[in-house]
């Protein structure tokens, strides 16, 4: 996953629900030095009885915000979605560099 262009990751999930899987796995795809490279990561754990849907909110360097529905999407499609925008930003960055 291209995580260079992310500035903010907010997740909220109840680990005792099956639907939290995608949100939890998304956190594992961030690199070890993600916080040092300027990504603001916040995780909120919901209590066990709560039925609130799990939430994943992303913000990119160009200001685009993404609210991803973790209940329906699997981790693969989430990453696809994030990479689709990241590749656009990468292309722009490459063009401005050269």
Partner 1 sequence: MPPRLRCPASASLTASISRSAVSSRPAMLAIASTSSTRSYATSLSSKSSLGGLRLPDDYVPPTKPPTARPPEVRKAQLLRTYTSLLRSTPLILVFQHNNLTALEWAAVRRELRLALAAISSNPDDALVTADVKLQIIRTRIFDVALKIVEFFDPSSVAPVKSGSNKNRVYNHDLSKAAYKAIKSVSEEPEKVADTAYGQLSPLMVGPLAVLTFPAVSPAHLAAALSILAPQAPAFPAPSRKKSPGYYDPTVQNALQKLLLVGGRIEGKVFDVDGVRWVGGIEGGLDSLRAQLVYLLQSAGLGLTSALEGASKSLWLTMESRRSVLEEESKPAEAAAEPDGEKKE
The correct pick among 37, 38, 40, 43 for binding partner 1 (CB under 8 A) is 43
Q: Is 89 in the site for partner 1 (CB under 8 A)?
A: no
- Count of chain residues binding partner 1 (CB under 8 A): 24
| Contact call for residue 55 and partner 1 (CB under 8 A) | no
3-state helix/strand/coil string of the chain: CCCCCEEEEEEEECCCCHHHHHHHHHHHCCCCCCCCCCCEEEEEECCCCCCCCCEEEEEECCCCEEEEECCCCCHHHHHHHHHHHHHHHHHHHHHHHC
The answer to whether residue 47 forms part of the interface with partner 1 (CB under 8 A) is yes
- CB closer to partner 1 out of 31 and 97: 31
């Amino acid at each position: 996953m291209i995580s260079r262009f992310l500035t903010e990751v907010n997740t909220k999930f109840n680990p005792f629900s099956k639907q939290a899987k995608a949100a939890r796995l998304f956190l594992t795809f961030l690199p070890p030095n993600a916080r040092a490279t300027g990504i603001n990561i916040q995780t909120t754990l919901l209590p066990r009885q709560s039925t609130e849907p799990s939430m994943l909110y992303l913000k990119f360097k160009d200001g685009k915000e993404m609210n991803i529905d973790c209940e329906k999407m699997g981790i693969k499609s989430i990453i696809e979605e994030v990479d689709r925008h990241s590749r656009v930003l990468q292309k722009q960055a490459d063009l401005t560099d050269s």
